[in-house]
Amino acid sequence: MTDAENHPVSPARVAVIQFDPQVGLDNRAANTDRALALAERAADDGATLIVLPELSATGYSFRDRAEAYAHAEEVPDGATVRTWESFARERGVHVVTGLAEREGVRLFDTAVLVGPDGYVGRYRKTHLWNREKLWFTPGDLGFPVFDTPIGRIGLLICWDIWFPEVPRLLAQQGADIICSVNNWVWTPPPIFDETGRCMASYLTMTAAHVNNVFIAAANRVGTDRGARFLGCSLIAGTNGWPIGRVAGAEEETILTADIDVVSARSAPIWNQLNDLIRDRRTDLYDPLLGYGLGHVAPR
């Protein structure tokens, strides 16, 4: 193989930020300030794609719909998106972050993607967990994949990773990397195995492996009005294995990985006779599993 063939086509340093945002309007400024400080550290270290947790602008444990509504803002015209647009423009990076979105009287658990040129797009959480169903509306935008200068980026949120259709549909639409923003909570034990990994870690690794995409998963830590969060953030390679370590359950931390984003496009070719995409039996099921809001893109 020549040096040209070895040279990364779309090199990126991916950073996932694990921290402890708190609910409450009085905490909004502190949440943003802490997230920005950590993102500055990541950018100083060379990160070009930064992923923050679900609802990192607001905290998670709303008491009721009225409080969730008070925390929500419009997208892309709200303060949170504008703040991250300024950061992304100044530092020349792409950022994925989570917030509560308001559209009329409807509320959504939303992830937004911004870049050096401003707002790129949003994803509204499709599968709602527990009491989220009492204030958020299930997402209505499907599973968009966004073309960016560093590659095609898909988004998912937390509970979505338990539904294998989500990363599969993102991969089938050509996603090179999936940014997974999360508030993974403690569930009945056992929570962790002997390696310190939680089930969400393994689901992320499995989704990366069976779809041959990178997944950058940012979770939060700490306790928010009695809800406890379990960390375990990670960056999974196209083979499913973590690139570097899986974060601990208590620590505020930044994980980074240097990847060639578009190398995911050749990852499904395993050998001369097996190609993950070609081997799918689309004569028995359609390429997008009945999904009608996107289109199959080559990888």
Catalytic sites, residue numbers: 54, 125, 158
Residue partners of 35: CB distance under 8 A and separation at least 6: 17, 19, 21, 52, 56, 57, 97
The one-character DSSP state at 273 is: S
User: How many Å apart are CA 204 and CA 19, to the nearest integer?
Assistant: 19
Residue partners of 196: CB distance under 8 A and separation at least 6: 232, 246, 248, 249
Copy the structure tokens of residue 233: 């953030």
E strand or H helix at 255, and its extent? strand 253-260
Strands (E), 116-176: 118-124, 145-148, 151-157
Pick from 166, 187, 165: nearest CA to 232: 187
Pick from 152, 154, 159: nearest CA to 141: 154
Copy the structure tokens of residue 259: 């990847």
User: How many Å apart are CA 263 and CA 272, to the nearest integer?
Assistant: 18
The one-character DSSP state at 26 is: G
